[in-house]
Amino acid sequence: MVSNPQNAGRQIDPKTAEATWFRAPIHDPYEIYPELPEEYNHVEEQWFARSAGSDIWVCFSDLPDATRDALWEN
């Protein structure tokens, strides 16, 4: 679980990062709020990135704009 994804996202170097997608709830991509009402459990493709060698995946929506843009270009 990522306690502060924005902080973890600032550590990601887009030149060496890994990126992939997972099917995850759009309102809770880290799936940390099991008590969300059913109408918020819509699942879609969510893109995530992590630093090379890290096991912490960060949703693209939590990345700094420059990092996200650089990853989309690769």
In sign, the C-alpha dihedral spanning 43, 15, 62, 8 is positive
Coil, strand or helix: which one is 10?
A: helix
Res. 14: pLDDT tops 50:
yes
State the pTM of this model: 0.86
The confidence score (pLDDT) of residue 4 equals 77
Instruction: Give residue-wise pLDDT tens across range 24-65.
Output: 999 999 998 889 898 888 999 999 999 998 989 999 999 999
Enter the tokens of residue 24.
């995850």
Q: Give residue 8's pLDDT band: very low, low, confident or very high (50, 70, 90).
A: confident
Give kind and range of the element (H or E) at residue 18: strand 18-25
Contacts of 6 (CB under 8 A, 6+ apart): 62
